[in-house]
Amino acid sequence: MRRVPSKQRNSKIHRDRDVRALSRLALLLFSGLVLASGFVFAAQQHFAAIEYGYRSEGLRRERERLLEEKQQLMLKREQAFAPARLAIEARELGLKPPVASQVGTQKASGRSQLPLAPALLNPSASFQR
């Protein structure tokens, strides 16, 4: 097909603007922006959820480690305050178990030499309001 330059002058012809086409393009652009921003928001929420999952897993591991350490420390404390161990350490310090003559006994009819605390006599006395 061979084209020949047109003899008509097209420079004076003015085309009317199609307002409906412009409004459709604007609506399409707006819809695309809303859709793209929705995808960006969803991706942001997804990555935040993954990050929170990693944090919670790390905190869970730290909690387990701390509970295990607590158990070990409680075991060490129980071993340190065991009566057998305290007796051995007391002997190393030069302490001796009390002899029967050193231990005072209380007679049933006699009063004690030591004053009793009011809380022992009357437990509600210590909670005076």
**Rounded (5°) CA angle 80-98-112:** 110
The percent of residues above 90 in pLDDT, for the chain, comes to 47
36-68 residue pLDDT tens: 999 999 999 999 999 999 999 999 999 999 999
> Does residue 14 fall inside a structural domain?
no
What's the whole-number mean pLDDT along residues 18-45?
Answer: 96
> Does residue 110 fall inside a structural domain?
no
> Does residue 113 fall inside a structural domain?
no
Q: Please give the pLDDT value at position 122.
A: 57
Task: Name the band, by pLDDT with cuts 50, 70 and 90, for residue 19.
Answer: confident
The percent of residues above 70 in pLDDT, for the chain, comes to 75
> Does residue 10 fall inside a structural domain?
no
Residue 69, pLDDT > 70, answer yes
CA–CA separation, 115 vs 112, rounded Å?
Answer: 7
Rg (CA), the chain: 46
> Does residue 73 fall inside a structural domain?
yes
> Does residue 40 fall inside a structural domain?
yes
CA–CA separation, 43 vs 37, rounded Å?
Answer: 10
Enclosing domain of residue 24: 20-96
Count of domains forming the chain: 1
> Does residue 6 fall inside a structural domain?
no
Q: Which residues of 21-50 are buried (b: 16+ CB within 10 A; e: fewer)?
A: eeeeeeeeeeeeeeeeeeeeeeeeeeeeee
Task: Name the band, by pLDDT with cuts 50, 70 and 90, for residue 129.
Answer: very low
> Does residue 129 fall inside a structural domain?
no
Q: Please give the pLDDT value at position 120.
A: 56
CA–CA separation, 26 vs 32, rounded Å?
Answer: 10
